[in-house]
A and B are shown apart, each in its own frame.
Chain A
Amino acid sequence: AQSVTQLDSQVPVFEEAPVELRCNYSSSVSVYLFWYVQYPNQGLQLLLKYLSGSTLVKGINGFEAEFNKSQTSFHLRKPSVHISDTAEYFCAVGSGGYQKVTFGIGTKLQVIP
């Protein structure tokens, strides 16, 4: 079985400040990890993914995440946020031959002007 924990349901941050959204996972086999973003009344869009290789993954809109196998974490970071980053962010983990991706409950990022 696999699971994902997003430790913060809401994260307020001032514009141009850095942000970290936390994600921890559990799985007994090799995993692949994703971060998705959801803007209001829209579907989810891929921010970045980790399949293998370099543990630092860069995504769209200046976001990056680091895969830490020993801490089973995949935290999302951005050095300077913009108002347009206000959205809900979902961490997701998949494992095994059939992609049954498990999503976290989401973290709402609120960027304050």
Chain B
Amino acid sequence: NAGVTQTPKFRILKIGQSMTLQCTQDMNHNYMYWYRQDPGMGLKLIYYSVGAGITDKGEVPNGYNVSRSTTEDFPLRLELAAPSQTSVYFCASSLSYNSPLHFGNGTRLTVT
């Protein structure tokens, strides 16, 4: 099993550009999440999904969008990138609401 796979690993964007961070999992987990990690700030939840077709906002959703058309995939869309979105983004999945999270290796995004 590959677990949770994120692409790309690194990306540099100019202000105002858009991009999609890809996340796929092969564990048949219903729950999927996007977090951002900033130094000294821990992880902040951006969006999460409890199953295909269902998404909801986390703590810091502004400037992002998600979709969940299949159980496996949970892409994160950045529209009109801003320097404040410079961060490391982690996708995670879990089997149920109180199960441990399985994390991808992250995408390091720089917006200049």
Contacts and interface: CB of A to CB of B under 8 A. Distances in A.
A34 B92 CA distance: 14
Chain B contact residues: over half helix, strand or loop, or mixed? strand
Given A94-B97, A100-B58, A43 B31 contact: no
B98 A99 contact: yes
A90 B96 CA distance: 20
Interface stretch (A12-20, A45-53, A66-74, A79-87): A45-53
Interface size class of A (residues with CB under 8 A): 20 to 34
A101 interface: yes
Which of B35, B43, B100, B105: most chain A CB closer than 10 A? B100
Contacts of B40: 9, 105-106
Contact of B100 (A42, A49, A97, A102): A49
Interface size class of B (residues with CB under 8 A): 20 to 34
B42 A44 contact: no
Contacts of A103: 35, 42-44
Contact of A43 (B44, B45, B56, B106): B106
A98 B97 contact: yes
Contacts of B104: 43
Contacts of A105: 40-42
A99 B41 contact: no
Interface of B: 4, 31, 33, 35, 40-45, 48, 50, 56, 58, 90, 92, 94, 96-101, 103-106
